[in-house]
Structure 1
Amino acid sequence: MANLISWINIAVVFGSIVLFGAVGETLTEKAGNLNLGTPGIMCMGGAFGFVGAYLYETSVGNPNAFMCILVALGTAFIVSALGGLIYSFLTTTLHANQNVTGLTLTIFGVGLGKFFGTYVIPKGAVSTKADFATKIFRARIPFLSDKLGVVGDILFSYGFMMYLALIVAICATLFLTKTRTGLNLRAVGENPATADAAGINVTKYKYLATCIGSGITGLGGVYYILDYSKGTWATASGTAIESLAWLSVALVIFVRWRPVHAIWGSYLFGLCYWAYQFLPKVIGIKVNTDLAKMIPYVITILVLIISSMRKSKDNQAPASLGLSYFREER
């Protein structure tokens, strides 16, 4: 039972990181922007959020928990949103190819994140740690996690970022399905010419959706460093964040652009990813490490094939996804 609970716990934390990226990318793609720069943006968010928290706690004699959280999340969100702004300017204003721009942003973002994250590592060391921020981000709910036995271990043994990921996913779903602004955003992603003719500012929606979506994606990077990695930034941290961010892109396709479904989808990805370590302990079946880590991607491919065969409009990507909008051709 202990091994099963540990498997669920690590899968939920792992999946919540992916969930931030998936929700952010979903908002971006609903506006018709295919941002393959998600890994770079998440790495930028993780690096700058860590650096912000680290510099705050080392420069203040008595750091405040709320200010530490505000600095880490605020820095990550703003820097990641700036990454989305760069993408938006190149693809929406200059009409650059979205695929090329996104991949270039990934290379740029990972490199930038590694540079600034490594900047605070002491000379001669390979890693550094933000101890105070880690304590705050990994703090559990005392009564619920300690007094409810197995239920507490499964539902409440997490830092606040896991619950924030759930709230963000639910709010994104309500925004896209229950608000006029969300419906306008979806219209922009489906047919920007028609939306433009109806008086919707296509450029504004594309910019805002991409910048806000990128900011949310960056929060996943902070969660990875200050909780999942126990507050440690190492020279290889950027590459690790990049691999999880690609899972976020895959998750968007897996759940068919529905943020609320990304909740269970992200946890499924986490269970599959860590199957190689816990399946032998839980049911005594040895699993090849490399093959187990492929499972989330294989599942995504199968879902993509099945949904394409069904040809249901509800299961398809936004019609203008990846395409530049030229207003003069309307």
Structure 2
Amino acid sequence: MTATAVAPSAVKGVSYKTPIALGAFSVLAILLFVVFARDGVSTFSFAQTGTITLPAVGFPVRGTGLVVAVLAVLLAVAATALVRLRGAAPRWIVVVFALLLVVGFLVWATAGQRLPIIGLLTGSLALAAPLIFGALGGVVSERVGIVNIAIEGQLLAGAFVSAVLASVTQNLLVGLIGAVVAGTLVSFVLAALSIKYVVNQVIVGVVLNVLVLGLTTFLYQAVLIPSTDVLNSPPTFSNLAIPGLSLIPVIGAVLFDQSIVTYLMIVAVVVVWIGLTRTRWGLRLRAVGEHPQAADTVGINVSATRFWNVALAGAIVGLGGAYFTLGSVGSFSQNITSGAGYIALAAVIFGRWDPLRASAAGLLFGFASQVANILGIVGSPVPSDILLTLPYVVTIIAVAGLVGRVRGPAAAGRPYLKG
């Protein structure tokens, strides 16, 4: 009896989503960088205050675009061949492909202009901070089994309360604590309705977002606007440079010359990742999110574990809300979050419910927002209206086209009724 080899392409379940996506973007690269090529030189500047300054790098726009388009086509072909032979394309191909397109687009969009790379990266990290806080809260909540659609409401509540308390007391620490409490209170409502009263978690999250938006809008118009000097003029965190490290070229200015909130974000990423993957707390949390019946059998209180971890998630997200008012703008405005909570939720999915990957996704979306800002300043040929949609387009592409097949926590969204 002779065994018959079966080609991976014939095996059920092999997906060509990645090669198709890469192929589509390769066509766009050809159209943009070759057919509609621009002349001139794009200069990437690395100017930095300190003892070491890297020289600027010039890229010929037409030549760079041609190289990027050719490499994009080759990577798309390679991805197709690897899917056919092995059943999947390596992740590094997608990463290299994305980096090539980003460089090619930046060179094309800034033809004849100077692009400040340090400003681009620093601004990306700043804009990503609330998204990363939101994504971390979403990961914690969903890994324990509660779908957290209310990230937007938690961010908004944290931003409002931190602005008011910091304005009244002129104390930034009080504002941060208020943001944590506000995010926690919103999560209490989510947890109570989802766990105790078994209300649909998605509906609860949407209702909470609408409720917090309506409440903060009313209070902003009725209370904050008439008393702006007293209730809506909080102090803001200034950047705190770490001696020595802040002088490292590029990396120093990006990572070691930031505000306290940004440093808290970096610490939160590390702590949540270690907690989820290396501690008993993380093991119990993940067990409840994957198989609550089994967790209950070994003596874990499923309802209590879910309740308090959803509260912890809300506290983390609340810190992200404080960034809008205490770390960036310096005052609260109507709907100041502008959908950041939904982008953070997309980062959770794009990051496959992993703290590090979700944080990287948050950085990607922050980078897209900063690219739109920078291109608007340097005079890009891309219309400003299209630039404003760039972060949301990147979000859709990332989740729909590049994330591939994903599976969230098995019990996420499913109420647990003991017995």
Question: Aligned match of 1:251 in 334, 347, 354?
Answer: 347
* Gap change, CA 1:277 and 1:326, over 3 Å in 2: same
Aligned-residue Cα RMSD (Å) equals 2.5
Shift of 1:122: 4.4
TM-score normalised by length of structure 1: 0.84
CA distance in 2, matches of 1:146, 1:172: 25
Contact 2:157–2:216 (Cα < 8 Å) also in 1: yes
Map 1:1-330 → 2, pairs under 5 A: 1=45, 3-57=116-170, 68-118=171-221, 120-123=223-226, 129-131=232-234, 133-134=235-236, 137-141=237-241, 143=243, 147-148=247-248, 150-229=250-329, 231-234=330-333, 236=334, 239-279=335-375, 286=382, 288-293=386-391, 294-304=393-403, 306=404, 308=405, 315-328=406-419
Partner of 1:64: none
CA distance in 1, matches of 2:198, 2:377: 52
Q: Which has a greater percent of helix?
A: 1
CA distance in 1, matches of 2:227, 2:281: 51
Contact 1:25–1:252 (Cα < 8 Å) also in 2: yes
CA distance in 2, matches of 1:157, 1:70: 20
Q: Which has the higher contact order (CA 8 A, sep 6+)?
A: 1
Contact 2:138–2:348 (Cα < 8 Å) also in 1: yes
Partner of 1:312: none
* Gap change, CA 1:85 and 1:151, over 3 Å in 2: closer
* Gap change, CA 1:150 and 1:265, over 3 Å in 2: same
Count of matched residue pairs: 303
Partner SS, residue 148 of structure 2: coil
Contact 1:73–1:222 (Cα < 8 Å) also in 2: yes
Larger radius of gyration: 2
Residue identity opposite 1:187 in structure 2: A
Contact 1:31–1:209 (Cα < 8 Å) also in 2: yes
* Gap change, CA 1:198 and 1:282, over 3 Å in 2: farther
CA distance in 2, matches of 1:127, 1:71: 15
TM-score normalised by length of structure 2: 0.67
- Unaligned residue ranges in structure 2 (runs of 5+): 1-44, 48-115
CA distance in 1, matches of 2:153, 2:251: 37
CA distance in 1, matches of 2:223, 2:396: 34
Shift of 1:187: 0.6
Shift of 1:87: 0.9
1:266-289 CA distance string (max 9 Å, x none): 221111123233247779663632
CA distance in 1, matches of 2:193, 2:261: 32
* Gap change, CA 1:207 and 1:142, over 3 Å in 2: closer
Shift of 1:301: 1.8
* Gap change, CA 1:34 and 1:142, over 3 Å in 2: closer
Partner SS, residue 332 of structure 2: strand
1:283-330 CA distance string (max 9 Å, x none): 9663632441321232122234x1x1xxxxxx52000111111113xx
Shift of 1:51: 0.7
CA distance in 2, matches of 1:95, 1:151: 47
CA distance in 2, matches of 1:181, 1:112: 35
Shift of 1:241: 0.8
Contact 1:9–1:157 (Cα < 8 Å) also in 2: no
CA distance in 1, matches of 2:322, 2:376: 31
Contact 1:34–1:322 (Cα < 8 Å) also in 2: yes
* Gap change, CA 1:291 and 1:81, over 3 Å in 2: closer
* Gap change, CA 1:197 and 1:145, over 3 Å in 2: closer
CA distance in 1, matches of 2:275, 2:294: 21
Shift of 1:226: 1.3
Residue identity opposite 1:233 in structure 2: F
Contact 1:274–1:292 (Cα < 8 Å) also in 2: no
Contact 2:141–2:309 (Cα < 8 Å) also in 1: yes
CA distance in 1, matches of 2:417, 2:251: 54
- Unaligned residue ranges in structure 1 (runs of 5+): 58-67, 309-314
Residue identity opposite 2:179 in structure 1: A
Q: Identity percentage over the alignment?
A: 26
